[in-house]
Amino acid sequence: MELEVRHLRALCAIADTGSLRKAARQLGMTQPSLTTQLRRIENTIGGRLFSREVTGSRPTPLGRSVLCRARPIVAEMNALVSEVRLEAGQTADARLRIGSTGSRAVVGWLRRLRARYPDADTTIHIDVSANALLQMVAANQLDVAFVHEVEGAPLRVPEGVERRVLVEREPQFVALAETHPAAPRPAVRLADLAADQWMVDPSVDGEGPGLRRVLAAAGLNPRVVYGDYLTAADLVASGEVVTPCQPTARSRQGVAVRPLHGDPLTVRLFLASRAAPAARTAADGPVPGTAPGAPFEVDALFGDLADAYFEIAWASAAYRQWLVRNESPLLRLQEPPARDAVDVLGLAGPAEVS
């Protein structure tokens, strides 16, 4: 069997949904048919691409390697079909393609975008690699991407990509077992975790180097191991490891989420998009890469993202308590702010072009 684009679409669907059943429904196939197709693809490639776990289907190391090459091909094929249809005079559906590293704000963001653009075909691409998402924006495979940049480990922002900063310094918290001696404290010192084993995900850009820099600055050299954050909860709950986590992370049974004293580990959150030509006017037609009939305003996308982020920030107990202790400007608000309020509060910086 020779690999075809439809096979690559199937692999992407399985990875995106994390389930053969959900992927089959998305592709309009039966689960047995997709399972058979996956086995034929794996036989052709010569190795397993997904492992079946309790939580669903997860890419193997070989699967991640194949997906890294498959996604750009699928995206280019989608773009090719849309452009050819447009040139042929056919009406193409409006497409809004957004990407993000993992964030609980994405759900609220999608809800707002679909309300704002009800006729658009809005798709989301999740990738733990912020650099990969930035490359997809630069290559016109995504319209915008919401990413985080670990302090001290700058991302590789391609030329012509514009950044709108949402939060300049978001504190990263720590996830530890509820039975850990430091768990009852409102804020945990790095020294309290000196004897613990830390775990980071090596596929998250800057995470490992950022953590090691912070630990070294504190004069600590604990063991750092590599793993997958999505499957780390059991290890954390058992006391085997502690892990950095977002302040909006949801606590799980047996796991406590606590701020780090002094906020030594921080990230910058920003929305990336292609920079529009400065001299372009409405008479010139839509900006390249914008879906036909749907001139998506990046400022509007950013505003919806800001609303979604602050909504989830207030919904997270540990983060809300941190905001109170640090007298955050968010305390002036009783509800998620609009974009202009974000600018006034200084929580979002000006756009930059690299």
User: According to the model, what pLDDT value does residue 334 have?
Assistant: 40
189-211: average pLDDT: 90
Give bridge partners of residue 177 from the DSSP assignment.
255
Residue 352, pLDDT above cutoff 50: no
Local confidence band at 331 (pLDDT 50, 70, 90 cut-offs): low
Give bridge partners of residue 242 from the DSSP assignment.
198
Per residue in 287-320, pLDDT (tens digit) is 433 433 345 789 999 999 998 998 888 888 888 8
d(CA 328, CA 350): 20
pTM: 0.66
The proportion of the chain whose per-residue pLDDT surpasses 70, expressed as a percent, equals 83
216-225: average pLDDT: 92
The type of residue at 250 is R
pLDDT, the chain, mean: 82
260-286: average pLDDT: 74
**Better-predicted residue by pLDDT, 187 or 279:** 187
d(CA 163, CA 272): 5
d(CA 23, CA 7): 12
Residue 124, pLDDT above cutoff 50: yes
Per residue in 22-52, pLDDT (tens digit) is 888 778 778 888 999 999 999 999 999 999 8
Buried b (16+ CB within 10 A) or exposed e, 311-325: bbbbebebbbebbee
Per residue in 66-120, pLDDT (tens digit) is 999 898 998 888 778 777 766 665 444 578 999 998 888 999 999 999 888 888 8
Buried b (16+ CB within 10 A) or exposed e, 209-228: ebbbbbbeeeeeeeeeeeee
d(CA 65, CA 62): 5
